[in-house]
């Protein structure tokens, strides 16, 4: 069997095919409503990813409610060599969350309970299927914050976040999940429960195996629970949004932000003018600044003393104005304005998606060359005879934005429709460009299906070989999220 979607990929015939007996087994061990078959339900929501770029053909979706149920599912899948795809909120951007062929989807959406929260230490233990925004809301009511935030918060799961090692908007403040996740509970491919749900900030007792699950994208096991260190929620949040005329000035503003806003700096996001025009095309909001600028930066501070924080931010902005680094800027005056300013950053992916398709490159590059990739991409597309943004052209927009504070660029090429010719203009050229700068072909979205062939541009063969060995040890039959990652 080959997929119409992926003509170069062949179904691995070592995997079993789902039988009536399997369905009977799953129905007998799971509560009513937990076994969804294509014969009875429309499963397209589980088979198609959020960009509508990847389509699988799964005939079976299982929705466990407990770790024990996941274990019973995996025991059967192990015996019968049935391939599975763990699925969280299905917001992933690399085609990792949907099947390629007929893999069983294990949807974690019904495993959504907070297990415990310690109001002294700030340590939260929760099911993997808790939605990020609801979890953060739960914490907000107790004066705490989830140490990760991203545009898909209303749909993505905290288990999915850990499985992808999501970075998001405040990594610069709260660090990576490799630091904040304290424990993981997961079900291994043979149904064994891996119990490393510790709540200790310090624990140097041997190999830190749980780290392997962070960013494993469903290839090693099904994450069922996490324990995570949550900081106190800042009482005062301020947001400034300003325009600058060059990428060099963006870097200057960043260095100054680190020096002057220091411990209260919680986000430093940058956007180019093309990305802001794209948001404006679909937004009813008034643009934050009257005049257009080549670049924009959103700076957020989070602290505990309003006067102190506002004074710092004000002084920072005045300094930038006086030294001619920024051309114009605004400071949010209330919570609504904070939210509105964030829309100009968080709304970029959604506005690009409205064009049709988007080729997404989520890359780490040394800061001084970060924006050069966007400019070189525009030149390359034009050299191959494609206009950008004209009525007759398939290429709608080429934009650059991202988490500048983390050296993470999002280069997005929006098209009216996905087109192999455009894809071949961009790939592997983009990855070769990154390899030359010793960057990463995936800063935060992971490998999934999309990046699997390009891993070699970022990782040495010696590392890839060890990754292969790890995969073999944990998942000898290769049933966990096959055809992807490695």
| Site of interaction with ligand FAD (CB under 6 A) | 50, 85-93, 96-97, 108, 128, 150-152, 156-157, 159-161, 163-164, 166-169, 217-218, 222-223, 349-350, 444-445, 448, 481
Nearest 10 degrees: CA dihedral of 388, 389, 394, 396?
Answer: 100
Which of 153, 293, 360, 471: binder of ligand 2HG (CB under 6 A)?
360
Helix (H) or strand (E) holding 46: helix 44-47
160 touches ligand 2HG (CB under 6 A): no
410 touches ligand 2HG (CB under 6 A): yes
162: nearest Cα among 189, 186, 190: 186
Pick what 410 binds: ligand 2HG, ligand FAD, none; C-beta below 5 to 8 Å, kind-dependent. Answer: ligand 2HG
Q: Are 375 and 395 in contact (CB under 8 A)?
A: no
Site for ligand 2HG in 186-205 (CB under 6 A): none
Pick what 299 binds: ligand FAD, ligand 2HG, none; C-beta below 5 to 8 Å, kind-dependent. Answer: none
Closest CB 65 distance from ligand FAD, rounded Å: 13
Q: Are 454 and 428 in contact (CB under 8 A)?
A: yes
In angstroms, the CA 402 to CA 244 distance is 15
272 touches ligand 2HG (CB under 6 A): no
Closest CB 371 distance from ligand 2HG, rounded Å: 15
359: nearest Cα among 440, 436, 428: 428
Closest CB 315 distance from ligand 2HG, rounded Å: 29
Q: Are 196 and 185 in contact (CB under 8 A)?
A: yes
Which is nearer to ligand FAD, 302 or 326 (by Cβ)?
A: 302
Show Cβ contacts of residue 407 under 8 Å, excluding neighbours closer than 6 positions: 364, 365, 366, 367, 370, 443
349 touches ligand 2HG (CB under 6 A): yes
362 touches ligand 2HG (CB under 6 A): yes
Query: What does the block give as tokens for 475?
Result: 């998942």
Query: What does the block give as tokens for 387?
Result: 């206009």
In angstroms, the CA 454 to CA 421 distance is 18
Alpha-helix runs per DSSP H in 141-220: 158-164, 171-174, 177-180, 210-213
In angstroms, the CA 105 to CA 97 distance is 9
Closest CB 123 distance from ligand FAD, rounded Å: 19
Tell me what percent of the chain is helix, strand and coil, each rounded to the nearest 5: 35, 20, 45
Which is nearer to ligand 2HG, 326 or 348 (by Cβ)?
A: 348
Pick what 92 binds: ligand FAD, ligand 2HG, none; C-beta below 5 to 8 Å, kind-dependent. Answer: ligand FAD
403: nearest Cα among 149, 171, 163, 156: 171
Site for ligand 2HG in 84-103 (CB under 6 A): 93
Q: Are 381 and 413 in contact (CB under 8 A)?
A: yes
Closest CB 364 distance from ligand FAD, rounded Å: 12
Which is nearer to ligand FAD, 75 or 378 (by Cβ)?
A: 75
Which is nearer to ligand 2HG, 93 or 177 (by Cβ)?
A: 93
Pick what 214 binds: ligand FAD, ligand 2HG, none; C-beta below 5 to 8 Å, kind-dependent. Answer: none
Pick what 156 binds: ligand 2HG, ligand FAD, none; C-beta below 5 to 8 Å, kind-dependent. Answer: ligand FAD
Pick what 107 binds: ligand FAD, ligand 2HG, none; C-beta below 5 to 8 Å, kind-dependent. Answer: none
Pick what 86 binds: ligand FAD, ligand 2HG, none; C-beta below 5 to 8 Å, kind-dependent. Answer: ligand FAD
Burial 183-208 (b: 16+ CB within 10 A, else e): bbbbbbbbbebbebbebeeeeeeeee
97: nearest Cα among 157, 41, 154: 157
Nearest 10 degrees: CA dihedral of 26, 31, 35, 40?
Answer: 130
Which of 64, 88, 95, 151: binder of ligand 2HG (CB under 6 A)?
151
Which is nearer to ligand 2HG, 198 or 356 (by Cβ)?
A: 356
412 touches ligand 2HG (CB under 6 A): yes
Which is nearer to ligand FAD, 276 or 320 (by Cβ)?
A: 276
**Count of CB atoms within 10 A of residue 114's CB?**
14
Which is nearer to ligand FAD, 136 or 217 (by Cβ)?
A: 217
Pick what 89 binds: ligand FAD, ligand 2HG, none; C-beta below 5 to 8 Å, kind-dependent. Answer: ligand FAD
288 touches ligand 2HG (CB under 6 A): no
Which is nearer to ligand FAD, 328 or 350 (by Cβ)?
A: 350
Closest CB 166 distance from ligand FAD, rounded Å: 3
In angstroms, the CA 228 to CA 132 distance is 13
Closest CB 402 distance from ligand FAD, rounded Å: 9
Which is nearer to ligand FAD, 93 or 414 (by Cβ)?
A: 93
Going from the C-alpha of 462 to that of each of 437, 456, 458, 469, 484, the distances in angstroms are: 20, 10, 12, 11, 19
Which is nearer to ligand FAD, 101 or 316 (by Cβ)?
A: 101
Helix (H) or strand (E) holding 80: helix 67-80
Give the phi and the psi of residue 222 in degrees, each rounded to 5: -100, 115
- Residues making contact with ligand 2HG (CB under 6 A): 93, 151, 349, 360, 362, 410, 412
């Amino acid at each position: 069997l080959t997929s119409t979607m992926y003509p170069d990929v062949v179904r691995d015939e070592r995997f079993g095919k789902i039988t009536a007996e399997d369905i009977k087994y799953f129905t007998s061990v799971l509560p009513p409503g937990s076994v969804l078959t294509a014969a009875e339900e429309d499963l397209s929501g589980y088979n198609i990813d959020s960009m509508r770029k990847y389509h699988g053909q799964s005939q079976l979706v299982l929705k466990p409610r407990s770790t024990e149920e996941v274990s019973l599912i995996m025991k059967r899948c192990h015996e019968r060599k049935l391939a599975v795809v763990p699925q969280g909120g299905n917001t992933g951007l690399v085609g990792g969350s949907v099947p390629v062929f007929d893999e069983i989807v294990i949807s974690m959406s019904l495993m959504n309970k907070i297990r415990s929260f310690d109001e002294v230490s700030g340590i939260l233990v929760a099911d993997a299927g808790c939605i990020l925004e609801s979890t953060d809301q739960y914490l907000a009511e107790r004066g705490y914050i989830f140490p990760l935030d991203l545009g898909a918060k209303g749909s993505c799961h905290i288990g999915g976040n850990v499985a992808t090692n999501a970075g998001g908007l405040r990594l610069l403040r709260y660090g990576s999940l490799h630091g904040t996740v304290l424990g993981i509970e997961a079900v291994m491919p043979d149904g064994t429960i891996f119990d490393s749900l510790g709540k200790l900030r310090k624990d140097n007792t041997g190999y830190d195996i749980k780290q392997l699950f962070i960013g494993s994208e469903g290839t090693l096991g099904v994450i069922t629970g996490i324990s995570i260190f949550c900081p106190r929620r800042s009482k005062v949040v301020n947001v400034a949004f300003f325009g600058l005329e060059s990428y060099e000035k963006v870097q200057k503003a960043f260095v100054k932000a680190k020096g002057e806003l220091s411990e209260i700096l919680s986000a430093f996001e940058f956007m180019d003018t093309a990305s802001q025009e794209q948001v404006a095309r679909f937004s009813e909001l008034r643009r934050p600044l009257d005049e257009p600028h080549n670049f924009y930066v959103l700076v957020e501070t989070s602290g505990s003393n309003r006067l102190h924080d506002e004074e710092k931010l004000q002084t920072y902005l005045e300094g930038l104005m006086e030294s001619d680094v920024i051309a114009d800027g605004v400071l949010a005056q209330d919570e609504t304005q904070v939210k509105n300013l964030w829309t100009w950053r968080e709304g970029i992916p959604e506005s690009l998606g409205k064009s049709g398709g988007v080729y997404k490159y989520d890359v780490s590059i040394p800061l001084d060359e970060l924006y050069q990739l966007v400019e070189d991409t525009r030149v390359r597309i034009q050299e191959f005879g494609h206009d950008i943004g004209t009525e007759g052209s398939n290429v709608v927009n080429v934009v650059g934005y991202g988490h500048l504070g983390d050296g993470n660029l999002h280069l997005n090429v929006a098209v009216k429709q996905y087109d192999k010719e455009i894809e071949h203009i961009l790939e592997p050229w983009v990855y070769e460009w990154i390899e030359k700068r010793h960057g990463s072909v995936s800063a935060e979205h992971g490998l999934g299906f999309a990046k699997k062939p390009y891993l070699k541009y970022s990782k040495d063969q010696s590392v890839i070989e060890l990754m292969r060995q790890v995969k073999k040890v944990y998942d000898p039959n290769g049933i966990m999220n096959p055809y992807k990652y490695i």
